[in-house]
Amino acid sequence: MGVVDREFEKLEAAFQAKVEAEQRIEPKDWMPEKYRQTLIRQMSQHAHSEVVGMLPEGNWLTRAPSLKRKAILMAKIQDEGGHGLYLYSATETLGISRDQMFDQLHSGKAKYSSIFNYPTLNWADIGAIGWLVDGAAITNQIALCRCSYGPYARAMIRICKEESFHQRQGYEIMMTMAQGTEEQRDMAQDALNRWWWPTLMMFGPNDSNSAHSAQSMQWKIKRQSNDELRQKFVDATVPQAEFLNLRIPDDQLKWNEDRGHYDFGEIDWEEFRNVVKGNGLCNRERLQARVDAHEGGRWVREAALAHARKQEARKAAAAA
């Protein structure tokens, strides 16, 4: 074994010891290249999800049924853009630029949460997204608040606070719809029918099939397994659905006294893979919308840069 290899092993051991000791890894600390790459993949995917997630909700912004709902939705979407910005910055600490991350998104190399490839078809979908999708996101993100990478953990703490407001407003929309006219109830049930299973898919493959899980657990990027988090979400959400008097579309859903958890049916993993592969109703539109915004905005960004350079040159000329 060469000197370089021994040196590397020492660094890696020290890194893992630090992780075990629950100390945060900071941008300037040494880290294994794979740790860095894993975080870039996960954090940029998270940032992209926030930004792409603005689209299905933005779809109802101009049609929100009251001015108050419109204001709340607008504030929520703005929060999400802010989360995106915050997460892109946190990811940049790992040595990748926002432009590079955009390129990866637009070329299809980087992913975003598949949930946003589903369409928002009625107003209750806005409620369902807040209640279920944000609810699932919080379940994941609370676990990430203790992630070993400092900037990501800190971003999560801040984001979780806003997400819990989002979830409440979503549930409140569902409650209003569920207690409203027959047509509103139908919309609420229809939204729950369409969003329930895709939300459960947000937690990722079963633990036995999860490609990245074991290593991420060892590095404490991930603190709880996909199935544990999914169970936690189901346990928390079923009573909320009962309170709304809405039916979760799963015939096998049942409280299991022995386990102290709800049993639930098998996820249609074929659908999951299919949507990830690009065959969801909105995959092409969502990505195209982002590409169009970026390409269509190129002249604006170039102008801002050109103007800033002119200003600099003028300042320099004045100083000379």
313 binds other proteins (CB under 8 A): no
The verdict on 119 binding other proteins (CB under 8 A) reads no
Residues 121-180 that bind other proteins (CB under 8 A): 123, 176, 180
Within residues 82-101, the interface with other proteins by CB under 8 A covers 82, 84-85, 88
At a CB cut-off of 8 Å and minimum separation 6, what does 223 contact?
143, 144, 146, 147, 217
**Nearest approach, Cβ of residue 285 and other proteins (Å):** 11
What is the contact mask toward other proteins in residues 181 to 200, using x (rule: CB under 8 A)? x-xx----------------
Q: Which H/E stretch holds residue 17? A: helix 3-20
**Which positions ≥6 away from 123 have C-beta within 8 Å?**
60, 63, 64, 65, 173, 177, 187
| Residue 51 binds to other proteins (criterion: CB under 8 A) | yes
Residue (21 or 67) nearer to other proteins, CB: 67
Considering only residues 234 through 273, tell me which ones interact with other proteins, judged by CB under 8 A: none
Helices (H), 118-210: 124-128, 134-144, 150-178, 182-201
d(CA 105, CA 286): 11
Q: Binding segment for other proteins among 153-161, 235-243, 276-284, 290-298 (CB under 8 A)?
A: 290-298
Q: How far is it, in rounded angstroms, from Cα 121 to Cα 190?
A: 9
Minimum CB distance to other proteins, residue 283 (Å):
16
DSSP tag of 247: -
Residue 296 touching other proteins (CB under 8 A)? yes
Determine, following the binding rule CB under 8 A, whether residue 317 of this chain makes contact with other proteins: no
Q: Is 26 helix (H, G, I), strand (E, B) or coil?
A: coil
What minimum distance in Å lies between the beta carbon of 51 and other proteins?
7
- d(CA 177, CA 56) in angstroms, rounded, equals 19
Chain centroid to Cα 316, Å, comes to 44
State the number of binding residues for other proteins (CB under 8 A).
45
Binding site residues, other proteins, CB under 8 A: 51, 54-55, 58, 61-71, 74-75, 77-78, 81-82, 84-85, 88, 123, 176, 180-181, 183-184, 289, 292-293, 296-304, 306-307, 310
